[in-house]
Amino acid sequence: MSAPDSRLASGLPPEWVRGSDGLLFRRAARVILLDEDDRVLLIRGHDQDQPERSWWFTIGGGIDAGESSAEAALREVREETGVVLAAGDLVGPVFTRSAIFDFFSEHCRQDEVIYLARIPGTSFVGTDRSGWTALEQDVIDELAWWSLDDLAVVDLEVFPEGLVDLVRSLLPEWDGTTTHLGLARE
């Protein structure tokens, strides 16, 4: 009899694999979406195991097998927001980071490549959940535009940590340097 697949037992999709450190691991692509007023489009979600805790985070998700980080970023923006970006709309990667966090009662590690893209605020007109996975349907609560000033004083957690200052460092224009943000323990 073979051992059970730990990926299936976790409830997380198959891009999560158990690493040599025992943590579930995946590579991910994220996008900081800004409009013409420098507002950032964020997702508010929660963990099924901690429904009372929710947080805001950037658009993005796992990189599929055979997919580049840029391809994953474009796909995730389309799936999560309905906004279709061209490859030339992505700037960067502007940041990279690793994060260790709890999700689905598991300790997870995610290596992220973070891009920037500008879209008209009218491009995102409402949430269309048709492209969402079953997991996203369960844990995503809303998407909303945030001014940097409002985001700086929001009561909920925001990821990546220090997002307001990170976005401001990209304004008015990114300097071309990809900054590694290190390892975050969230």
Whether the predicted pLDDT of 151 surpasses 50:
yes
Q: Of all helices (H) and strands (E), which one includes residue 179?
A: strand 179-185
Q: Please state which CATH number belongs to domain 15-185.
A: 3.90.79.10
For residue 6, what pLDDT is reported? Answer: 41
Write the pLDDT tens digit of every residue in 91-139.
999 999 999 988 877 889 999 999 999 999 998 877 777 777 777 777 7
pLDDT at 126 (0 to 100):
74
- The model carries a pTM of 0.89
Which DSSP string do the residues of 14-71 spell out, in sequence order?
Answer: TT-EE-TTSSEEEEEEEEEEE-TT--EEEEEEEETTEEEEEEEE-EEEEPPTT--HHH
3-state class (DSSP) for residue 117: strand
